[in-house]
Structure 1
């Protein structure tokens, strides 16, 4: 707050601050009657005041935020309180004082006011986060200094609980509309007949499911971060996390024209899968957001008893003066704010705190204008992965030697199939269309045992016609047959019968690992692929 400006208290800030009201030493015991939570700008203007304070003051949110503190602090205490505020702003130190606040009926009550400053990368105060705790009348022993501040809670603990309640409330509020959208989408799917509309609806359903997962994981993170629950450590196959990354972020990379490569890994690690996924998603999202051209690569490397998971990008890198600040809550460089105004600067701080809670480590290396590499170091497990309910558990490589050609313009499907099949020991080649697949087969460099082709490949040919052409080409070039499986987002009896009559198997999108494994296993056993979507 500038010394010569006019603040939200309605006072000119001329001259040096006088001695503030005593902020140290014994204070009165707090009561359980009223706790106010607020956020204010350095000039004293309120950006937020909780309902408890609004009810105590008898003011609406607009009145509270519009007038600031000058109508909330007792007139006789306002001058001293302003001096305390100025001094805390000047020294960028925590604010702690007692003052009288005005109630709705015109009376006043004495409060212990505590606040901490939030600063940016230059050390400039962005806002203050504070709590007002109502004080009871002091007993003689407390006035003599014997009682002390025994029941007044630490400000950071109060703010932690407030943030947790706010997060839980927000997550609860988000869950209801998301559940409604999911239900309505499923109802609408039964009524749609137009294939393009059904494809669009399927994409929307996947987006809603991703949002639901994000909301659930965020609530879980808040509970773990505040110590309400302990991390749930299991033996986890890291490749399942990589598959989820492929499903979620391949479309984003494709929209930006970036390469997005995930190298499969068969390692089993000891971690909390939900929290690890949150860490990886934050790192990959940041990498894709700040990379304009080039690619993002996710890969793993064993190092003794640890697995190092790397997220590399070819973005602009991180300036040397910012490296020590990137893990702070709400930190965003000025360039990031200008180029990507929608962020909040919490992604990396979440990664750091989760790593600490899980006993993992996270580190970064960077070269300005060339890119960065974030690494999570996780302990390896010598036991098999503990599969979540409903997920496939494969501890060997049951598809070793199987060769799979995937023909699909959907980068998400390509990445998911490649990661899964390679983990199971198979070999995958991919093509974004029929012409690219034909070129690969004509070269004679790859003989597939099975071809997975999307039902909607664009142009006039659907997946069935394309499959006829490609399986025929395999038979002609390699003098041996290849099995065909159609990938489709229309998981209906009509579509299943159409594909089965053509002599091919069917897998519904989004691709289930269990269904993919079951279908490909049938090929290795020389059986017909299961013509089912589930």
Structure 2
């Protein structure tokens, strides 16, 4: 009996070691216990037969337990090696993802650089072409020639607007536009929309109404105004009778700015597709007079960038309502008195004005000379600030207006030219910067410069409106400061020293 107990104890204790390899398990257990069980059974009496049966059951249990333990260890080892393989694959995939991300970042950076270069290089000839076309239109007196020139102007304007819209979409998709959020009032935005879209609406016999508001919002002022301008432009374009209304409504902690029109309306099935590029309701023939189908695509991208919600309610044949939900902001104390006038009541013409144009592209200077000459103004052109001072000295005159390209040759900036001419001539000459670089960093610099600016290509009527406004707003200040200005010979002498 003691021998039986000892042998079974040894077998049980060795299961953990022998079960690693099944032949070892079976050979060890069977060769050790089977002869013992047979020897006990051969005694023949009932007691020994019972003991033999019990031992057989125990042997069966040992073998079964060892077999299951072997399967468990085998599966554990298999899973371990599978995990090792998975870890290897995961590391390989992670490395591939890192390489793909680096490639994507490089491609994005390259795309951004391409957009910046293309934006500047393509805007320049478009800008010059628009200037020459407008100048030609002003000089054409024959009816047939004027019609031809009008068609050229319309094509150039359409090309300029299409290019600007495409570049805007490309920059938004490339992540090259960074919003500059700030608290600002809606009233000035509404006033500018009234001035911009009121006349074309009146020309179509439409009412263009802006509901006065004292609300302030938190957004990017320029990008938000672009959203509203695109909505207002579409509303005027697609409305044949009735009118357009722009207003704002408070909603809990937000403000909903709405643009209503009584135009053609949009079917429910089309309300999502209208935000796709180049898609237009009711314009299968791609009539360019109805726009290019990019305005709403830009609106959606801008709204996503600014985290604003854009909604549309419309009924075909009755009109549409576009709503932009934006966070309200706390009113900021108004600036001190003496701000520049916002009224157009003192608007003057360009007749007799002397305009200094600084641009390192001869074709742009020539275009400016032709265009402003058609408006009755005299243009003095130069390629740099130094050359402009020399040209003004030769002409023995002061400029009434300064227009400068933002990026000039030899790394000279238009902001530097404006500051230098104002300092050397002793006059706060009204100035306008024109930039072909529309990157976020450049726009931020232009905003902070305190000088008005336009982006190429500049539409002639837009250039004329800005020039007239700058001349009008500075007329009184220019008159009072002229008595304290140094003679131009003295200013040039100081510049030379």
TM-score (normalised: structure 1): 0.40
**Higher helix fraction (1 or 2):** 2
TM-score (normalised: structure 2): 0.42
Greater gyration radius: 2
The structure with higher relative contact order (CA 8 Å, sep 6+) is: 2
